[in-house]
Amino acid sequence: MLNAIAQKTEQLAVWLIRILLSLLTGLFFFLYPALYSSPAFASIAPEPPIPTAAIEWDGQAARVPDWSQISFRTLPPVMSEGAFRAPPEVANAVGYDLSRSWEAGQTADTYLKLGDFQTSLYPQIFNLHTIATFNNLDLQQVALGYMEMAAWQTINALVTAIPGLSNLPANQVKPIAQLLSKTVLSANLSESIGALLSEMPALGQLLLGDLGEQLNSFAITDIPGLDNIPLQNLKDWGNSTIEGVPGLADIPLDKMPSPIGAVGMFAKVDVT
């Protein structure tokens, strides 16, 4: 059984690598606009081309993608639709669901997930405050519903993820207060969240997603401390798309916790 899971996991990893290689292949074509002078390429020529930078390596000059100006949102859009469904045992083995679908024209941030890069770029180490600083985002103005994984969080998950949250009165954490008041009319919201969970443990299983569209009426900062914890503290973080983390899709790839470097993308090939 374990061997079968390992084989399926390896197959899925190869599939994911192929997607990423196709993106980088797209970058290659973007770097050489002359290729698009042919009518065969005219229909897919992007404007403007991907930014490049000049480097010298081992005595060789080259132009490579300028990762300081390239983000997931600006990577080449996928050229055709597709879908993939991973078996549940594989999702359990890798810690997130590799299943997804995409349409022609979608950018990478809309179908690639945090879990896809958990051992390469390590986006899960970021917190929302750091991401917002890169993008000059005011998290007081960003709706909680814009954060994809927010809907997956239970009260228990939030208390586990955010140090000190359980000590706050429930009425100081607006989304949780709203969730509790919808569920238990008699709840004393002046009590701490921890005390309420001790009295009624079942409340810990309530999902923020149960608020539905109301999530958009709260700001990310309405949950104190949410912006200062690593994304990996949150439940099912690996299933979030890049787009599902406010501002992450616009961070240059050379500013990731484990950044892409220019030289790391350049190699000399001897074809003689």
- Cα 65-69-73 angle, rounded to 5 deg: 100
Contacts of 5 (CB under 8 A, 6+ apart): 89, 90, 93
- So what's the pLDDT on residue 45? 38
Q: Which of 72, 34, 73, 27 is nearest to 50 (CA)?
A: 27
Compute the half-sphere exposure of residue 170: CA atoms within 13 Å on the CB side of its CA: 21
**What is the rounded CA–CA span in Å between residue 101 and residue 99?**
7
- So what's the pLDDT on residue 22? 44
E-only strand ranges, the chain: 52-57, 60-65, 82-84, 100-102
Q: How far is CA 174 from CA 205, 235, 256, in A?
A: 17, 20, 32
pLDDT in tens, 79-137: 899 998 889 898 888 899 999 999 999 999 999 999 999 999 999 999 999 999 999 99
- So what's the pLDDT on residue 35? 30
Identify whether the C-beta of residue 45 lies closer than 8 Å to the C-beta of residue 226: no
